[in-house]
Amino acid sequence: MYIKTLSVTELNGYLKKVMDNDFILNNIRVQGEISNLKYHNSGHIYFSLKDENSKINCIMFKSNADYLNIPLNNGRKVEAVGRISVYIKDGSYQLYVSTINDIGMGELYIKFNNLKEKLSKKGLFLEEIKKEIPKYVFKIGVITSPTGAAVKDIIQVAKRRNPGTEIIIYPALVQGNEASESIINGINTLSSMEDIDVIVVARGGGSIEELWAFNDEKLAYAIYNCRIPIISGVGHETDFTICDFA
């Protein structure tokens, strides 16, 4: 039996037809936690649904998003109703969402809010205890991944604004189980140096799982107890961590 050789477009088109004609995939309800939420200026909403083991990319077109009656945010558990299909251009399958039903907040966000409330009651976030950033900074200690985009941005901006500024990089893990301890070691090491004027703790943006190392109670106390002012440069503008509040 001869089987025709397909082009990539033909293959993805065939898979799309198979999925589009599957009754279950065209009437699917998926429960999960929202992550990587993005509102596009077109009115479309892009996000992922995830559980403890896996995730699926999702899109809700403006025509459906206009009728959305619940607020969406990262960490919220929802039931998404829609259909599964293939996006031919890049061969990825995704959930095309028509409606979303609210279930509640995800486990990590509950942990985050509980820790935030606990440390806030203990006074770790009070403005009056924050250390003043020096007007003139001659040496900056930076705790971040030496291979990430954040360190390049920090060096470029600092050198552009003040070419005489000296930058000491402490290479740290910024994601994973050992990252919090690595960052704490960086704070302890740089704070033991007499001529460091300010410390920057930084990494690029990401999901709450990717930024979870910065939601650590021991790290919050390390920042609180550090004699040198610490600036948090973690994530994008829409990301908030315990590190930021401390």
Please answer whether residues 125 and 178 qualify as being in contact, where contact means their C-beta atoms are separated by less than 8 angstroms. Answer: no
pLDDT tens digits along 112-163: 989 999 999 999 999 999 999 998 889 999 999 988 888 888 999 988 988 8
101 and 115 housed in the same domain: no
In a domain, 3, yes or no: no
Q: How far apart are CA 187 and CA 70, in angstroms?
A: 41
Q: What is the 3 state secondary structure string of 43-104?
A: CCEEEEEECCCCEEEEEECHHHHCCCCCCCCCCEEEEEEEEEEEECCCCEEEEEEEEEEEEE
Tally of domains within the chain:
2
Examine the domain organization and report whether 77 and 181 are in the same domain.
no
Distance CA 77, CA 103 (A): 5
Q: Are residues 144 and 175 in the same domain?
A: yes
pLDDT digits (tens, 9 = 90+) for 52-69: 889 999 999 999 999 998
Q: What is the pLDDT of residues 204-246, one digit of tens each?
A: 887 778 889 999 999 999 999 999 999 999 987 777 899 999 9
Exposure of 64 in the CB half-sphere (CA atoms within 13 A): 16
Report which residue type is found at 185: N
With respect to residue 1, please indicate whether it lies within any of the assigned structural domains.
Answer: no
Whole domain around residue 13: which residue ranges?
Answer: 8-105
83: domain CATH number? 2.40.50.140
